[in-house]
């Protein structure tokens, strides 16, 4: 039976649940954001079928696949019907790695249950090609810079709530970008899945006049910013936000003062060589006494020097890359976002015509 196959962008634009039928380890490595994993084979079963294919050929591998899946057809059918019940009548969007036998088999089962299905032409492999192509497109990237504790992430999120085009690189990576960045955050995705998340977010901002991202290092925790996007960030205009030291300390205490002291101590020890023995000792003593503000103060000298160096390097070859700075002293993230939009410094998508 001929299946309804769709290219990547049309498939992604659908409304029904995306059902990834690859093995759990494949799904964990990277998947279409929002997809549900309904594996045809377990990880071990997939490995066994692959080995059989290499050693005995296609027919033997297909036979083994039938024997493995046969006892579970009823349960797979129940899970497909449960997903379809959530779809408001929209077809299930199925895919495997290449768009071959695994998705075809699951589509066959779905049609036996009178469920509508769509297949992704070329499977997840085609989606990954599409993802990597996004980073070679030209995007109107603008950087939000500022010293540690300036509240850049909170400001970007407030701007996003006001229809400004924002890609939260730290949020997508589940990491705040420093030695302390993983504290209190969920586990990080793989770099592959990080790329998937960024690509989907960028594509949703296709019509934006400006796309704002935080000025980052190439690595956000263990996640690497895609090379094509990173090149564009290096050449992007940068707006620096400034807040007084005491406000920055308050921000850091609010974020990190609630974390496990032992985790704070370990993160401090990881940068001990860069902090120097005196500041490291003072920071560790402050953590032991739960003097969070003093601990943060000891760190800021190092992080400020790093930031100032990066700012100088960013505008060193072309001062036009620096859009200047704005002082946000005393302003909440929401008030700062309102001010930046009302002054026309940052354009909200719904207000560009104004």
Whole-number Å distance between alpha carbons of 69 and 156: 47
Give the CA dihedral 162, 167, 173, 174, nearest 10 degrees: -10
Residues 6+ apart with CB under 8 A from 200: 12, 32, 33
Where b means 16+ CB within 10 Å and e means fewer, 231-262 reads ebbeebbbbbbebeeebbbbbbbebbbeeeee
Sign of the Cα pseudo-torsion (202, 206, 207, 211, in order): positive
- Whether the CB-CB separation of 113 and 133 falls below 8 Å is answered with no
- Print the SS3 string covering 253-286: HHHHCCCCHHHHHHHHHHCHHHHCHHHHHHHHHH
Q: Of the listed 96, 137, 223, 306, which one is catalytic? A: 96
3-class secondary structure, 28: helix
Q: Please report, for the chain, how many H helices and E strands are present, in that order.
A: 17, 11
Beta bridge mates, 16: none
Whole-number Å distance between alpha carbons of 77 and 92: 13
Put residue 340 in one of left, alpha, beta given phi > 0 → left and psi -120 to 50 → alpha. Answer: alpha
Beta bridge mates, 239: 144
Residue 96 known to be catalytic: yes
Whole-number Å distance between alpha carbons of 321 and 319: 5
Q: Show which residues are catalytic.
A: 96
């Amino acid at each position: 039976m001929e299946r309804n196959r769709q290219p990547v962008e049309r498939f992604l634009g659908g409304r029904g649940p995306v059902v990834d039928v690859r093995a759990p380890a494949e799904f964990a490595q990277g998947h279409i954001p929002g997809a549900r994993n309904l594996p045809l084979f377990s990880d071990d079963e997939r490995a066994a079928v692959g080995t059989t294919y290499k050693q005995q050929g296609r027919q033997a591998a297909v036979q083994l696949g039938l024997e493995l899946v046969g006892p579970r057809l009823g349960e797979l059918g129940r899970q497909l019907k449960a997903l379809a019940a959530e779809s408001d009548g929209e077809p299930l969007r199925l895919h495997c790695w290449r768009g071959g036998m695994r998705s075809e088999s699951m589509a066959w089962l779905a049609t036996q249950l009178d469920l509508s299905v769509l297949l992704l032409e070329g499977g997840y492999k085609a989606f990954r090609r599409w993802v990597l192509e996004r980073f070679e497109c030209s995007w109107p990237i603008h950087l939000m810079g500022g010293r540690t504790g300036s509240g850049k992430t909170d400001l970007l999120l407030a701007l996003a709530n006001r229809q400004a085009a924002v890609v939260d690189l730290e949020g997508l990576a589940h990491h705040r970008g420093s030695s302390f960045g993983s504290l209190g955050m969920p586990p990080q995705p793989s770099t592959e899945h990080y790329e998937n998340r960024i690509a989907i977010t960028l594509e949703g901002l296709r019509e934006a006049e400006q796309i704002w991202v935080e000025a980052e290092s190439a690595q956000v925790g263990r996640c690497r910013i895609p090379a094509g996007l990173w090149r564009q960030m290096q050449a992007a205009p940068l707006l620096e936000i400034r807040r007084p030291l005491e406000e920055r300390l308050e921000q850091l205490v609010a974020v990190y003062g609630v974390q496990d002291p032992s985790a704070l101590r370990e993160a401090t020890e990881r940068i001990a060589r860069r902090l120097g023995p005196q500041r490291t000792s003072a920071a560790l003593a402050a953590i032991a006494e739960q003097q969070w503000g003093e601990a943060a103060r000891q760190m800021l000298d190092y992080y400020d020097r790093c930031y100032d160096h990066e700012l100088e390097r960013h505008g060193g070859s072309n001062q036009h890359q620096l859009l200047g700075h704005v002082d946000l002293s005393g302003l909440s993230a929401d008030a700062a976002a309102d001010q930046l939009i009302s002054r026309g410094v940052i354009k909200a998508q719904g207000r560009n015509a104004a």
